[in-house]
Amino acid sequence: MKKTIIFLAAALAATALFFSSFSKRATQPLVVGDATFQDFLKQFPSEKLPFALDEKMLQARLELEVTRYNNPDNYSAPKRQRLSWEYFKFLPDLREASRFSRNPLTAEPVAAFQTEQFHAVIYLAGRGFSRNYGTYHVSVFDKKGKHIATNVAGSVSPNTLGSFKLEKNLALISQSWQVNWEKDYGKHGMEDNKIVSLISLETTSLDATKAPRAAEDEEEPQSEEASEADEEGSSR
């Protein structure tokens, strides 16, 4: 009898340990491997400064989502590289944001730059069903690969777009735009809808080599509107 009790206790302990380990792996991306900072930089297309993504480029990305929703048979998803989890270790903000969420966080490498003092990369982070939405970030490192700062640069969502330009001195100029739809987006969503215009809202500028004054929660690489649209799209 005593042996049976001991066996059951050991089995329960092993089961608890298994599920605890599984739960931890499910919420915390596995950062493994011997990837170097140079390996990390190679994941990004090498570009020259100044570098910009204007509102028309971002509108085109949003219109891809309109096509995906209304004409799925005519939608061809662009080939976009995803940053593997082993490289999240070089991006503290991204790594931290990926730890706790029911929706997986993905990152798309956009561009890499080099100045006399710094390395910089731009990536698009997003959650949910669609990869056409997301938030653009600029991360700056010293020459040895030490992370210095990460700042939000722009975004793509159904109600607003954020265009930006990164200057040679790593000054970041961002411009927000209101998306005007033919039909009220709040009532109709993307169904049989189309973008008719963009309205300039606000311009901001900052030094991308300086960390934000207050730590920002990276939980929102997509807006609530984008998340709702994702759920609608996934149900179709």
* Cα–Cα distance, 144 to 156 (Å, whole number): 32
Confidence band, pLDDT 50/70/90 cuts, at residue 213: confident
| Cβ neighbours of 129 (radius 10 Å) | 17
* Cα–Cα distance, 45 to 49 (Å, whole number): 13
Q: Is residue 7 part of a domain?
A: no
Does the pLDDT at position 103 exceed 70? yes
Q: Is residue 23 part of a domain?
A: no
Whole-structure pTM value? 0.76
One-letter identity of residue 53: L
Does the pLDDT at position 128 exceed 80? no
When the pLDDT of each residue in the chain is averaged and rounded to a whole number, the result is: 80
Of 121, 120, 88, 80, which Cα lies nearest the Cα of 104? Answer: 88
Give the best-scoring range by mean pLDDT among 29-33, 154-158, 226-230. 154-158
Distance from chain centroid for Cα 14: 37
pLDDT tens-digit profile of 143-191?
Answer: 999 999 999 999 999 999 999 999 999 999 999 999 999 999 999 999 9
Q: Is residue 77 part of a domain?
A: yes
Bigger pLDDT: 78 or 215? 78
Q: Interior CA angle at 146 toward 144 and 148, to 5°?
A: 130
Q: Is residue 98 part of a domain?
A: yes
Q: Is residue 14 part of a domain?
A: no
Q: Is residue 11 part of a domain?
A: no
How many structural domains is the chain composed of? Answer: 1
Q: Is residue 4 part of a domain?
A: no
Q: Is residue 35 part of a domain?
A: yes
- The CA–CA distances, whole Å, from 162 to 7, 62, 133 equal 60, 12, 11
Report the range of poorest mean pLDDT among 25-29, 34-38, 48-52, 61-65.
Answer: 25-29
Do the beta carbons of residue 156 and residue 133 sit within 8 Å? yes
Q: Which domain holds residue 152?
A: 31-235
Exposed e or buried b per residue across 37-72, where buried means at least 16 C-beta atoms within 10 angstroms of its C-beta: beebbebbeebebebebebeebbebbebbbebbeee
Provide the strand spans (E) within 18-159: 51-53, 105-114, 118-127, 134-142, 147-156
DSSP string, 119-166: EEEEEEEEESS-SS-EEEEEEEEETT--EEEEEEEEEE-SSEEEEEEE
pLDDT tens-digit profile of 2-19?
Answer: 444 443 344 434 444 433
Q: Which residues pair with 166 in a beta bridge?
A: 51, 172
